[in-house]
Chains A and B, each alone.
Chain A
């Protein structure tokens, strides 16, 4: 399918594309991020780049912006072959990128942030005039002398766009621009992007939201697992075709699942059959976690949940599906590491928490396994440390969870990622918690370690522990969960643990 992009249509021959990436491949270690991916951005168009989390959208555009060097493939800007050593080269080629995480300095004014990266003298009035000129052209309102720390996230995004335009960008790449915006601001953004495109610019919209893409883009490219699976004018495709391309058709899925099953032990079918079907109703006598009208903000002050209520019962595995990063605050709140801004939450007394950033949040790499074991209860200990007891407990976990370490006194940092994760899970389960919260627990692990982690999660469930698991791998969610909560637009919708239902809810096709 990816060869479709390379067959030039008659119109494309007449006018060279503004930006073209051809047969781009990129591997990160053993993981294939992109394989022979090609994309062509026409001048004056809004081009949607669609795909699930981890499909390779951002990697492809980071290559176009000079942030990542491709293993193979070529980049052309306005018909000319280019090689980008760094983003500076891309900016010189009049490409601008607005990342998901803003790169602004909050203690500086709008004008100062725009002038960053410029050369020569900083003339605040000249920069302010430039900011005003761009903002009136784009119909954006922004005070050049406002402090960035006082801006809303929508205003910060406007500033990011203005900054790229101040560097003369004609090709604008936006990575999930609507993730931080309210519905009203999203409408404004697309009006402004359309104005920019009509003016002869081109826009690449990295998104996983089908609705935004369908309503506002002229062309669409869909990536799945590093491959371009669809490339078409938007008018020629409908929602079902796009969703099918993003999620993969059923035949493909079945083939891949079979491959996974043979590679993994124990086979997932066992789990499917033992998993008890539980209804989404929340008031049961065994409810261990209950949220009532909970609202939370993350570290950046972005609202992540708005008046959400749900409950989780003992022995239930609840999957959380969400856009990358948007469930992190929620998981920390459920796990007792963060308090809600408003609303009530009732948690069990003991909670196990397995964070995604293992090296920084779960263990101290320079400490021994025994010390890392003690870390799990460090906050509540008092008096003397009983190191012999801790060491015995550690040895028990090392044996029970098959942690490959030379002894309980080995530095945690000397273990492989999979063994570290097995150890962390063992530690968190050692207190027999009423609730276990996991964040991408098998990311970066090999099949065997991942299988072992899954087996432990099932055993915890069988022992009556409520489990909340977030994973960016929808297959994993579907495999482990009794039901799945999809976090979308600060609300939660419950769906059955089925890959396509999760995918559709996450893609926002329902609403």
Chain B
């Protein structure tokens, strides 16, 4: 039973990693360097907590749908700020999205000590959301919730979009060769990357909503242990392939869950897991650049 619970915990941990990993993979594929999945996830969590608490009695279990939509919309708005800054003032999204991450963190600090604080005003968190506003469980007796199905489905959809649709092809073309996409493909790359940016924000926001309605059931500070940053590694290790993101998300989820258990039971510091993650990222980047170089060398036939 304990093994099952641990297994379920690893999956639970993997859900936000897969979702934010997909958000990053989508953006990077389209040439948008969205490093703000963390901030978009946090505002998504805040929005879905707000929707759930405000309308949980009025709407019953249907509130989940609205909470998830609200989370995705909040992610869109957060990404749109960076996208607009890029479009109008050529602000690099690498910088603006990271800055917006900090703003999101402090925004939540304010909310959980101010307008959204629980009624007793003791803890810096919102009241718990009603059972009716929680995502259903996939395996009873564990914490594994329906967010897993959403994450897997979304990965499948994105994979299909990249492979089989004109829109997905345009996104890949803009990411791989922006000048050729514009000149040979007559693609409006500014407009396309704007759309990609917002969709990426929507997925990250959805990840936050799923975290609140599936795991934490309340909004508090540090609701994300850096999912949005680990997501960059998840996406890169998967070579920006949505199906690969499932695998690398599960891997990182297992690694982090295992590290927590190791620390609890054997007092092995969980920073070992962080170091392992970092080494994996380095190894992937090195492998990628070696492969890239060999392509260059074998250019002429």
Contacts and interface: CB of A to CB of B under 8 A. Distances in A.
Partners in one complex: yes
Interface of A: 336-337, 353, 355, 357, 360-367, 371, 374-385, 387, 404, 411, 413-416, 424
B176 interface: yes
Given A374-B169, A381-B169, A364 B183 contact: no
Interface of B: 163-170, 172-173, 176-177, 179-188, 295, 298-301
Contact of B295 (A357, A413, A415): A413
A385 B176 contact: no
B177 A367 contact: yes
Nearest to A337: B183
Contacts of B170: 378-379, 381
B295 A411 contact: yes
A360 B180 contact: yes
A376 B169 contact: no
Contact of B187 (A357, A378, A382, A387): A378
A416 B301 contact: yes
A380 B186 contact: yes
A353 B184 contact: yes
30 contacts: A337-B182, A355-B183, A360-B177, A361-B179, A362-B184, A363-B180, A364-B173, A367-B176, A376-B184, A378-B169, A378-B173, A378-B185, A378-B186, A381-B166, A382-B166, A383-B165, A383-B166, A384-B165, A384-B166, A385-B163, A385-B164, A385-B166, A385-B169, A387-B164, A411-B295, A414-B295, A414-B298, A414-B301, A416-B300, A416-B301
Contacts of A360: 177, 179-180
B177 A363 contact: yes
A411 B299 CA distance: 9
B301 A404 contact: yes
Contacts of B173: 364, 367, 371, 375, 378
Contact of A364 (B164, B165, B177): B177
A379 B187 contact: yes
Contacts of B186: 336-337, 378-380
Nearest to A361: B183
Nearest to A362: B184
Contacts of B300: 416
B176 A364 contact: yes
A375 B166 CA distance: 10
Contacts of A411: 295
A378 B181 contact: yes
B35 to A, nearest CB: 23
Contact of A361 (B163, B167, B180, B187): B180
A367 B175 CA distance: 11
Nearest to B183: A361
Which 4 pairs between the two chains have the least Cβ-Cβ distance? A364-B177, A378-B185, A379-B186, A381-B166
A304 B287 CA distance: 46
Contacts of B181: 364, 375, 378
Contacts of B182: 337
A185 B88 CA distance: 35
A365 B186 CA distance: 17
Contacts of B301: 404, 414-416
Given A355-B183, A362-B184, A378 B166 contact: yes
Nearest to A360: B179
A478 B5 CA distance: 79
B183 A362 contact: yes
A374 B170 CA distance: 10
A371 B186 CA distance: 15
Residue picked from B168, B179, B183, most chain A C-beta under 10 Å: B183
Nearest to B186: A379
B9 to A, nearest CB: 39
Nearest to A357: B179
Contact of B180 (A362, A374, A384, A385): A362
